[in-house]
């Protein structure tokens, strides 16, 4: 079957059909990479991957990132388990770019739906290219000179303390995860395009800017991203759907409108490089 690509919005998102992700050829991997750089997030249907195949797929695009807090698959530590039900309510319904608390945040993620609720549970992605380009030129110039401080959110501390020997782990975690600095506007290493690089989950302050002023600028940018549908694409999950997004130029939001239904997702994350 020939590959078909259906663009979903002007700024972000495409649905790709006619591919089998279980054992992709080098040519298909290159084609997917090119499509990712063009569309920022790709959606695939009917991809019944085993955990091992999911891990192998991620490795086609680079080394895999190991999350220091999230629950992982017992046989495949590269896979993050995102399981929600009546005992585990959803808690990631906030705009974010994954793990920008790291000095080298992930390049991208491949998320697959294992079990989906009858209604709800969509995910929304936003283009940080579009968010940057929609700002006034003077604002772009100002942000281009600024550096933001990123650190892990309070929810990470809660996750750690709930684990066995949680407080001892938290002490080690605090030691190993110091705040990091990233440019507020980063340049994509492949496309060369500029993207806004702050988010409501991990960005804590702006270096060299007063606390109140820093908060005001970050709040404005967060509102700018969250309230502009033209930057966004929304995906309705089906069982065995897969989404692959570029973490360097997007944010995403997991809509928490399905509780207490079951939603089970698995994710592999591809290592990235230092933003510039």
Euclidean distance between CA atoms 212 and 200, whole angstroms: 16
* Residue 135 neighbours by CB distance under 10 Å: 17
Choosing from 54, 150, 252, 263, the catalytic residue is: 252
267 catalytic per annotation: yes
Choosing from 54, 65, 98, 112, the catalytic residue is: 98
54 catalytic per annotation: no
274 catalytic per annotation: no
75 catalytic per annotation: no
Choosing from 96, 150, 186, 248, the catalytic residue is: 96
Choosing from 65, 112, 182, 267, the catalytic residue is: 267
* Active centre residues (catalytic): 96, 98, 252, 267
């Amino acid at each position: 079957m020939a590959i078909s690509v259906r663009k979903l919005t002007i700024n972000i998102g495409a649905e790709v059909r006619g591919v089998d992700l279980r054992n992709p050829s080098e040519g298909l991997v290159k084609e997917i990479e090119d499509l990712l750089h063009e569309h920022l997030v790709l959606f695939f249907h009917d991809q019944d991957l085993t955990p091992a195949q999911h891990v192998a797929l991620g490795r086609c695009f680079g080394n895999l990132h190991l999350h220091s807090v999230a629950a992982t698959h017992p046989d495949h530590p590269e896979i993050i388990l995102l399981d929600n039900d009546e005992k585990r309510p959803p808690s990631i319904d906030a705009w974010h770019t994954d793990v920008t608390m790291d000095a080298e945040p992930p390049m991208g993620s491949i998320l697959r739906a294992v079990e989906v609720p009858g209604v709800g549970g969509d995910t929304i992605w936003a283009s940080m290219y579009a968010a940057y380009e929609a700002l006034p030129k003077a604002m772009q110039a100002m942000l281009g000179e600024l550096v933001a401080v990123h650190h892990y959110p309070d929810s990470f501390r809660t996750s750690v303390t709930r684990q066995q020997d949680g407080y001892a782990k938290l002490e080690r975690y605090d030691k190993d995860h110091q705040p990091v600095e990233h440019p507020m506007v980063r340049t994509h290493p492949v496309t060369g395009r500029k993207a806004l690089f702050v988010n409501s989950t991990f960005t804590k302050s702006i270096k060299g800017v007063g606390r109140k002023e820093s908060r005001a600028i970050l709040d404005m940018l967060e509102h700018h991203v969250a309230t502009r549908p033209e930057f966004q694409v929304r995906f309705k999950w089906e069982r065995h759907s897969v989404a692959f997004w570029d973490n360097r130029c997007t944010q995403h939001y997991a809509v928490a409108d399905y509780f207490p239904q079951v939603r089970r997702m698995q994710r592999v994350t591809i290592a990235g490089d230092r933003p510039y």
